[in-house]
Structure 1
Amino acid sequence: MGSRVTGTAQREAWLQRVLPPVEQVRPGVWSIPVPIPHNPLRYTLSYAFTGDTVVLVDPGWDAPESRHALKEGLATAGADLTDVAGIVLTHIHPDHHGLSGWLRGESGAWIGMHPAEAATLPGRLWRGWRSQDDRRWLREHGVPEADVDALTIAPRRMDELRTMAEPDRMIGDGDRLPVDGRDLRAVWTPGHTPGHLCLHDAEAGVLLTGDHLLPRISPNIGVHDNHGDPLTAYRKSLELMGRFDADEALPAHEYRFRGIGDRAADLLTHHDERGAEILVVVRDRAASAWQIAAGLTWSRGWDALSGGLRRMALGETLAHLHHLAAAGHLTPVAGRPNVWRLAG
């Protein structure tokens, strides 16, 4: 049957390239679009659970216009910044977690996330990060010297990331969130990030999917160091989604939809096809992750990607390579650069 658009006003706004309206999607549940300046994703859909107090999910990117939009969205929902008692993060990417520190300062709200997510906060994970280490990592995976500068994370940007807010409480799989009058449960869905959470309200019939499931695009599943197998984790998380097929998906980007199980199946098929494409690329010779990425099909085309987008493509390719190696299809060969060949 496939997935079906339910957020029709949101989709129309997406097609018109404008900000969608603030909407009450269920009694006491509000969708508030928070802009992401100069970004093709355009906005994050923050969700406010209102009652005597407000619990806010994914406040969004930190920019003046984003702060204004969040404040105005809460006002439409009959609330103020000072009513926010808690902030729940599906994950810590800046378009979700960026405003958390500011909002906590305005309201005194607690911040909650999965412990595996807290462990990846840049202030913890990259405490000793140096730009020369990043350059070395890029070269290890075959990035040409002409592209290294454009793909290296700028020290100023890293400093900004390292100041993102620390959590006040941890939220584990199955935990009930402190939302007035609701049985809102956390569902751990690692893949896009190690501690990504979806949030399920069975009575309301909604699943807040964060970036785990989006109606139109595939979330980036990337390896950004030399460890981990996020794609295998993501596939397992997708396989959980059938149990929520009766629910409406409230994603963090684009628009609401139904058909959660079908959308998850589509994404599994997408990753199967990408894995098969990689095996064709390395069929005749070993290649670096960069060479493999350049040989794959990208929606914009490889030549149209530059800077951060090429870095994301490299990370996504590495995730597929790690998954294929874990499945016994590929073998990594250390060198300068590292290369990958068919197993056996």
Structure 2
Amino acid sequence: MEIPRSTIPTPPVECVVPGLWAIPVPIPNNPLGHTNVYAFETDRGPVLVDSGWDDESSWNSLVAGLGEAGFQAADIYGVLVTHMHPDHHGLSGRVHAASGAWIAMHPKDAAMLPKMSVEQAEKEFVDEVAMMLLDAGAAEDEIVIRKRASSKGPRPPMIVPNRELSDGERVDVPGWQVKALWTPGHSPGHTCFKILDHGMLLAGDHVLPSITPHIGMSRADRAGDPLGDYLASLLKVDQPDITTVLPAHEHRFDHLGTRVREIIAHHEAHLAALVMSLATGPKTLWELAKSLEWNRPWDQLDQLMHRAAVNETAAHMRHLTRRGLAARQKGVRPITFEAANTEPDPGHGHDHSDGRDHGHTHGPGGHSH
């Protein structure tokens, strides 16, 4: 996981190619700075790809950007949502209320929205983070949970989509040839959109030019292998006819194949480091997370970043168990892993799982929303 160290400057509204606009929508109090919302011009009205964070300043920026493109919010025909995270789907409800636009999302992400719309009380959130870190193997004196700096009361519920996206479908963007590509990993239903006649990929958070998305365990798929899904999804979009990538953060770029190989190498290096760590003996999930190299020293990460790092480490350990390179010590607390034995001791149980559902979060190395 990698996060930017300082807020990215907000770029101007831009016409990417005739009829396709990039509109930066701010994410308050977040080092990413903004979400790139894209708007297709069609004879039915604009079709957005993502909508942005649900905040008054974000809404005003979206409306102003549409105005520069010659549209009003009431003109919007539809919204294609890459995934359900609030910096991508947050304003979809307001767009629907203003225009009656349809909202489309992959069903695996749509199914998670009811859980995401329930805001935890602050004490409950703090207790959950503390228990997760203790379960991973953190000592009590290592846990100092601070209130969320961005907490502003209950988060408004995000709208439930009224259309489903399926892998390979031609989506409803009149006058354009746009194909949905299901790319699970960062979220279970993450979807990219390939503009077939322009060689472009609207990549959401799947492939970013200089940072990597958070890949962690999800409550929606307790038995899944999100890192394995993500690595496969990277190869899926590495197509020679895609010449330009339009990501949801940072800036567009044109070296997709190179960037895919860089991201795969990054995760393979973490996997190799974890295997090497286990070669010296069993390790708790906390110890394994601390052993990895993050974009800042471990003691400079706050507890929410520790939570995210532990969650991503858990996803890597899940993938290693699927490869047969690690095993969880069954029934042991805190969660502990060891190198997989080719001839397991019949008196010692193994559990080939990461051992915990850590839920959705972002953190050091992945971008924070």
TM over 0.5: yes
Residue 34 of structure 1 pairs with residue 25 of structure 2: yes
Change in Cα spacing, 1:237 to 1:16, as seen in structure 2 (3 Å) is closer
Whole-Å separation in 1 of the counterparts to 2:63 and 2:183: 29
Q: Secondary structure at the match of 2:239?
A: helix
Letter paired with 1:284 = T
Cα deviation for residue 51 of structure 1 reads: 2.2
When normalised by structure 2's length, the TM-score is 0.82
1:340 alignment counterpart: 337
1:61-76 alignment runs, 5 A limit = 61-76=53-68
Match of 2:47 among 32, 51, 55: 55
Letter paired with 2:27 = I
Whole-Å separation in 2 of the counterparts to 1:126 and 1:228: 23
Residue 160 of structure 1 pairs with residue 149 of structure 2: no
1:103-182 alignment runs, 5 A limit = 103-123=95-115, 131=125, 135-146=130-141, 150=145, 159-160=154-155, 163-182=157-176
Match of 1:185 among 158, 179, 188: 179
Percentage of identical aligned residues? 41
Summarize deviations over 1:174-208 as a string: whole Å, max 9, x none.
11111110111100000010000000111022100
Cα deviation for residue 153 of structure 1 reads: 8.3
2:15 alignment counterpart: 24
Cα deviation for residue 146 of structure 1 reads: 4.3
Query: CA contact under 8 A between 1:46 and 1:57: conserved in structure 2?
Result: yes
Q: Secondary structure at the match of 2:272?
A: helix
Match of 2:206 among 209, 212, 218: 212
Q: Please say which of residues 104-113 and 319-328 is displaced more in the overlay.
A: 104-113
Whole-Å separation in 2 of the counterparts to 1:16 and 1:136: 31
1:221 alignment counterpart: 215
Whole-Å separation in 2 of the counterparts to 1:157 and 1:175: 39
Q: Structure 1, unaligned stretches of length 5 or more?
A: 1-13
Cα deviation for residue 223 of structure 1 reads: 1.2
Query: CA contact under 8 A between 2:25 and 2:35: conserved in structure 1?
Result: yes
Q: Secondary structure at the match of 2:282?
A: coil
Change in Cα spacing, 1:73 to 1:20, as seen in structure 2 (3 Å) is same
Whole-Å separation in 2 of the counterparts to 1:18 and 1:262: 25
Whole-Å separation in 2 of the counterparts to 1:56 and 1:165: 15
Cα deviation for residue 327 of structure 1 reads: 0.3
Q: Secondary structure at the match of 1:243?
A: coil
Cα deviation for residue 42 of structure 1 reads: 0.7
1:238 alignment counterpart: 234
Whole-Å separation in 2 of the counterparts to 1:125 and 1:317: 26
Match of 2:89 among 87, 94, 97: 97
Q: Secondary structure at the match of 1:199?
A: strand
Summarize deviations over 1:306-337 as a string: whole Å, max 9, x none.
13222211111111000011000000113221
Change in Cα spacing, 1:15 to 1:157, as seen in structure 2 (3 Å) is closer
Whole-Å separation in 1 of the counterparts to 2:139 and 2:164: 41
Whole-Å separation in 2 of the counterparts to 1:62 and 1:125: 13
Query: CA contact under 8 A between 1:47 and 1:56: conserved in structure 2?
Result: yes
Query: CA contact under 8 A between 2:117 and 2:155: conserved in structure 1?
Result: no
Change in Cα spacing, 1:332 to 1:138, as seen in structure 2 (3 Å) is same
Whole-Å separation in 2 of the counterparts to 1:203 and 1:273: 36
Cα deviation for residue 218 of structure 1 reads: 1.0
Query: CA contact under 8 A between 1:143 and 1:290: conserved in structure 2?
Result: yes
Query: CA contact under 8 A between 1:112 and 1:167: conserved in structure 2?
Result: yes
Q: Please say which of residues 214-223 and 334-343 is displaced more in the overlay.
A: 334-343
Q: Please say which of residues 141-150 and 306-315 is displaced more in the overlay.
A: 141-150
Residue 292 of structure 1 pairs with residue 284 of structure 2: no
Letter paired with 2:140 = E
Cα deviation for residue 140 of structure 1 reads: 2.2
Summarize deviations over 1:138-176 as a string: whole Å, max 9, x none.
43222333455628989x789527x12111110100111
When normalised by structure 1's length, the TM-score is 0.88
Letter paired with 1:262 = T
Whole-Å separation in 1 of the counterparts to 2:21 and 2:216: 31
Cα deviation for residue 278 of structure 1 reads: 1.1
Query: CA contact under 8 A between 1:245 and 1:260: conserved in structure 2?
Result: no
Query: CA contact under 8 A between 1:36 and 1:66: conserved in structure 2?
Result: yes
User: How many aligned residue pairs are there?
Assistant: 329
